[in-house]
């Protein structure tokens, strides 16, 4: 088989190992992109997850990301106590996609979202913005969260997600030594994107000593040269000494190689799927690092945004709910871990699975399918 064929070959075998329900596979012929929508569960009718747009080395990597992220979303909705199933869309674009082709690609994707008739709701994720949500909603309304404020949405979900991470940091510090304050604590933020940059600002305002790591030259110059924060290059990010390490970039970064290097007391961040495998939560526990599970900590967007866009909450009401839910669920996770002698990953999954098994989550006012 030619190299290109094998790169583009559809990885059916990955579906065999997946415990979710369906994957919609939609080739976008004009651009050569592949749209994948993974629906993990329709237990509550509709499923929801962000739209990630990037170039993957091959289709297998793209599908794998969609499947894992959709499963993660199922746990995130359950941890947030809300009745959406887990889902995720991945748009695997050719590396040389002309930016002028992007709007039409997004509109065609929006049409697909509309055709699904409410089975799938979406919002922004890595590689997409609120402006992209506006374009998707031109053809995909009303199933699109986080449109710009001008277009009637609530805009970027980064700031409310970062607010949730900040609350997660406070609850974790309280568990560490009884004091939730970030004042004087050293926090290393990995990734200064939409969530990371908003978190950095909160932490600075709270008196924390903030270190950051980032790959984008413009963001590095901004936070290092204009704001005056200490920059940690990628090769030192896992063994830099800090109180809390906050991964706010991509997943899989806590693994057999990185965990032994860590010199922090806790890990609390917004990236989805931070653990390369579930056993990594046990590795963190064995090293005495307090891990606040990602899908609890990063649920600020999924609690706050549907609250504001579907339930009519004001931004300050949304912030209050996000703070209460994240701190409340984290305390339950910490207590269950102590009481049952299990790692934080298992404890968080057990709490989410219990909510799913009993269907005891809050239902959103969505049309019945």
User: Quick one: which of 33, 35, 48, 105 contacts ligand PHE (CB under 6 A)?
Assistant: 48
Provide the residue count of the chain. Answer: 369
CB count in 10 Å sphere of residue 319: 20
The DSSP 8-state label assigned to residue 81 in this structure reads: T
User: Would you state the structure tokens that stand for residue 192, as one six-digit string?
Assistant: 């200064």
Per CB under 6 A, the segment of 136-144, 298-306, 328-336, 352-360 that binds ligand PHE is: 298-306
Q: For residue 157, state whether it binds ligand PHE (rule: CB under 6 A).
A: yes
d(CA 26, CA 101): 17
Provide the minimum distance between the beta carbon of 305 and ligand PHE in the complex, in angstroms, as a whole number.
4
By CB under 6 A, the count of residues binding ligand PHE is 14
* CA dihedral for 275, 281, 283, 289, sign (positive or negative): positive
When the beta carbons of 155 and 282 are compared against ligand PHE, the nearer one is 155
d(CA 90, CA 87): 10
Please list, in sequence order, all residues whose beta carbon lies within 8 angstroms of the beta carbon of residue 128, skipping any fewer than 6 positions away: 50, 51, 52, 53
Instruction: Choose the catalytic residue: 88, 175, 321, 325.
Output: 88
Please list, in sequence order, all residues whose beta carbon lies within 8 angstroms of the beta carbon of residue 86, skipping any fewer than 6 positions away: 20, 39, 40, 41, 47, 48, 49, 70, 71, 72, 73, 74, 75, 76, 77
Per CB under 6 A, the segment of 120-128, 147-155, 281-289, 319-327 that binds ligand PHE is: 120-128
Q: For residue 272, state whether it binds ligand PHE (rule: CB under 6 A).
A: yes
Q: For residue 50, state whether it binds ligand PHE (rule: CB under 6 A).
A: yes
Q: For residue 53, state whether it binds ligand PHE (rule: CB under 6 A).
A: no
Helix (H) / strand (E) containing 210: strand 209-213
Provide the minimum distance between the beta carbon of 289 and ligand PHE in the complex, in angstroms, as a whole number.
24
d(CA 166, CA 149): 24
When the beta carbons of 254 and 305 are compared against ligand PHE, the nearer one is 305
User: Quick one: which of 36, 210, 211, 305 contacts ligand PHE (CB under 6 A)?
Assistant: 305
Q: For residue 302, state whether it binds ligand PHE (rule: CB under 6 A).
A: yes
Provide the minimum distance between the beta carbon of 243 and ligand PHE in the complex, in angstroms, as a whole number.
26
User: Quick one: which of 86, 123, 158, 193 contacts ligand PHE (CB under 6 A)?
Assistant: 123
When the beta carbons of 135 and 264 are compared against ligand PHE, the nearer one is 135
User: Would you state the structure tokens that stand for residue 60, as one six-digit string?
Assistant: 């297998």
d(CA 35, CA 12): 15
User: Quick one: which of 125, 243, 280, 319 contacts ligand PHE (CB under 6 A)?
Assistant: 125
Is residue 88 annotated as part of the catalytic site, yes or no? yes
Of residues 135-154, those binding ligand PHE (CB under 6 A): 145-146
User: Would you state the structure tokens that stand for residue 72, as one six-digit string?
Assistant: 């993660």
Query: Which of 283, 262, 256, 270 minimizes the C-alpha distance to 343?
Result: 283
Task: Please give the residue ranges that form the binding site for ligand PHE (CB under 6 A).
Answer: 48-50, 76, 123-125, 145-146, 157, 272, 301-302, 305
Active site residues: 88
């Amino acid at each position: 088989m030619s190299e290109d064929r094998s790169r583009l070959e559809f990885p059916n075998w990955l579906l065999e190992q997946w415990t979710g329900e369906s994957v919609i596979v939609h080739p976008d012929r004009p651009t050569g992109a592949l749209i994948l929508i993974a629906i993990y569960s329709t237990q509550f009718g509709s499923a929801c997850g962000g739209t990630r747009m990037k170039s993957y080395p091959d289709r297998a990597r793209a599908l794998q990301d969609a499947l894992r992220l959709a499963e993660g979303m199922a746990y995130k909705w359950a941890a947030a106590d809300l009745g959406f199933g887990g889902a995720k869309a991945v748009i695997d674009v050719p590396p040389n996609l002309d930016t002028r082709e992007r709007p039409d690609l997004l509109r065609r994707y929006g049409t697909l979202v509309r055709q699904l008739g409410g089975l799938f709701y979406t919002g922004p994720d890595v590689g997409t913005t609120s402006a992209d949500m506006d374009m998707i909603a031109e053809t995909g309304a009303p199933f699109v969260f986080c449109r710009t404020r001008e277009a009637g949405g609530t805009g970027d979900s980064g700031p409310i997600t970062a607010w949730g991470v900040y609350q997660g940091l406070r609850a974790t510090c309280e568990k560490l030594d009884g004091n939730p304050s970030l004042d004087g604590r050293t926090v290393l933020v990995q990734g200064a994107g939409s969530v990371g940059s908003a978190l950095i600002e909160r932490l600075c305002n709270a008196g924390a000593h903030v270190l950051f790591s980032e790959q984008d030259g413009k963001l590095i110059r901004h936070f290092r040269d204009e704001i005056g924060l200490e920059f940690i290059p990628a090769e030192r990010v896992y063994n830099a000494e800090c109180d809390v390490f906050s991964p706010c970039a991509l997943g899989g970064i806590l693994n057999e190689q990185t965990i032994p290097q860590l010199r922090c007391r806790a890990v609390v961040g917004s990236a989805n799927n931070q653990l390369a495998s579930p056993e990594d939560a046990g590795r963190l526990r064995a090293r005495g690092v307090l891990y606040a599970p990602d899908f609890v900590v990063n649920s600020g967007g999924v609690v706050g945004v549907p609250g504001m866009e579907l339930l009519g909450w004001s931004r300050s009401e949304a912030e209050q709910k996000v703070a209460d839910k994240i701190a409340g669920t984290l305390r339950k996770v910490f207590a269950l871990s102590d009481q049952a002698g299990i790692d934080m990953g298992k404890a968080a999954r057990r709490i989410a699975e219990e909510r799913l098994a009993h269907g005891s989550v809050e239902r959103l006012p969505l049309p019945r399918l």
